[in-house]
């Protein structure tokens, strides 16, 4: 069974392998030993906090483990509130109108303005599933279980959540959008800039990034065409989030111009439709296919399971109960897969 659980120090090697395999443009998972170890330690601190009344600096990082082999096959994370100590940048798409009545000229021009509008919101991040396991809806489980975690522990997260989607880049990791910025404002390639941001070195953004609005028409055609577009490998993840209620509101990444999608947490489909019921352990007949989790923080477990539901409780098999650390009478949260 594939089970999602909080990351542990012994998962470092597997997390590093995920970082290597994720490739260019995956900002939240850079190939950097010190940063990855810090992320693991920070996650452990977050899971260890028993009493949290409002979102803060917590970063929750989970791994998906094959319980038969003990192999970590993917990772997934939630940031409780972004930008509280380090600036969190986006470009906001807007419009400026140039109008002369006497000359009968009217031009509505798109602009990109550097902003910090998403400061304090929660972020779904660091979703990566290793290639051999991209089947049987494993990716859906690895993404959507986070919404059950947010539904169960609402006080730990903001009213709103975002997800930054990977933008367009070529096989060498070069971004057409960054190519224009590099030519006019920077002296580093896309991969270097992306890596520096991933390890927390963001001062150069404020120092070198143009802070005045940029007219989109000033950009080269190749750069204009990728604004708000996602990498081919990211399309399934974007479709899934859109099905959950996430929407693009005109905010794009400052490096590759990939879209950021947002939603009110209470309106996420999996949050609205999830239910919480006591558990009975026993044989499951004619069960429903669900994403199921326990209701603990430090010992959180989630996975795909077959359950039988009644008005008062759900029935889970002994194997599923053991894997998800559920005992008779425990509460569990679930949503249809």
Which residues have a catalytic role annotated? 231
> How is 97-129 classified by DSSP, letter by letter?
EEEETTTTEEEEEEEEEEE-TTTT-EEEEEEEE
Q: Which residues pair with 99 in a beta bridge?
A: 106
Alpha-carbon distances, residue 62 vs 65, 99, 166, 322 (angstroms): 10, 53, 20, 19
Q: Which of 113, 109, 108 is nearest to 93 (CA)?
A: 113
- Beta pairing, strands 105-115 & 122-129: unpaired
Residue pair 146/186 in contact (Cβ under 8 Å)? The answer is no
Q: Which of 243, 334, 324 is nearest to 288 (CA)?
A: 334
Alpha-carbon distances, residue 146 vs 80, 108, 204, 271 (angstroms): 12, 40, 32, 10
**How many whole angstroms separate alpha carbon 176 and alpha carbon 171?**
12
Tokens of 134: 């991209």
Kindly state the helix (H) or strand (E) to which residue 288 belongs, with its residue range. Answer: strand 288-294
Tokens of 184: 């006019």
**How many whole angstroms separate alpha carbon 87 and alpha carbon 203?**
9
Q: Which of 323, 242, 239, 247 is nearest to 279 (CA)?
A: 323
**How many whole angstroms separate alpha carbon 320 and alpha carbon 293?**
10
Chain centroid offset of residue 8 CA: 19
């Amino acid at each position: 069974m594939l089970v999602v659980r909080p990351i542990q120090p012994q998962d470092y090697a597997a997390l590093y392998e995920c970082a290597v395999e994720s490739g260019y443009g995956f900002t939240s998972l850079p190939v950097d030993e010190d940063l990855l170890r810090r992320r693991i330690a920070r996650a452990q601190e977050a899971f260890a906090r028993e009493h949290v009344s409002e979102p803060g600096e917590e970063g929750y990082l989970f791994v998906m483990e094959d319980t038969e082999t003990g192999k970590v096959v993917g990772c997934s994370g939630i940031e409780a509130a972004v930008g509280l100590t380090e600036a969190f940048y986006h470009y906001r798409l807007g419009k400026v109108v140039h109008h002369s009545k006497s000359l009968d000229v009217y031009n509505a021009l798109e602009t990109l303005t550097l902003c910090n509008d998403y400061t304090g919101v929660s972020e779904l991040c660091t979703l990566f599933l290793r290639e051999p396991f991209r089947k049987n809806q494993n990716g859906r489980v690895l993404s959507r279980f986070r919404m059950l975690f947010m539904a169960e522990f609402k006080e730990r997260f903001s009213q709103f959540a975002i997800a930054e989607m990977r933008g367009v880049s070529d096989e060498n990791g070069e971004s057409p959008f960054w190519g224009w910025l590099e030519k006019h404002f920077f002296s580093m390639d896309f991969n270097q800039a992306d890596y520096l941001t991933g390890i927390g070195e963001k001062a150069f953004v404020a120092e070198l990034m143009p802070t005045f609005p940029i007219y989109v028409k000033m950009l080269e055609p190749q750069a204009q065409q990728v604004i708000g577009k996602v990498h081919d490998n990211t399309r399934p993840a974007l479709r899934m989030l859109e099905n959950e209620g996430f929407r693009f509101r005109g905010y794009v990444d400052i490096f590759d111009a990939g879209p950021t999608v947002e939603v009110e947490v209470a309106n996420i489909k999996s949050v609205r439709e999830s239910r919480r019921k006591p558990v009975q352990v026993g044989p499951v007949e004619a069960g429903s296919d669900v994403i199921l989790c326990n209701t603990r923080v430090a010992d959180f477990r989630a996975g795909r399971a077959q359950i039988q539901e009644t008005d008062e409780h759900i029935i889970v098999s002994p194997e599923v109960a053991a894997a998800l650390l559920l005992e008779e009478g425990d509460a569990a949260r679930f949503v249809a897969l």
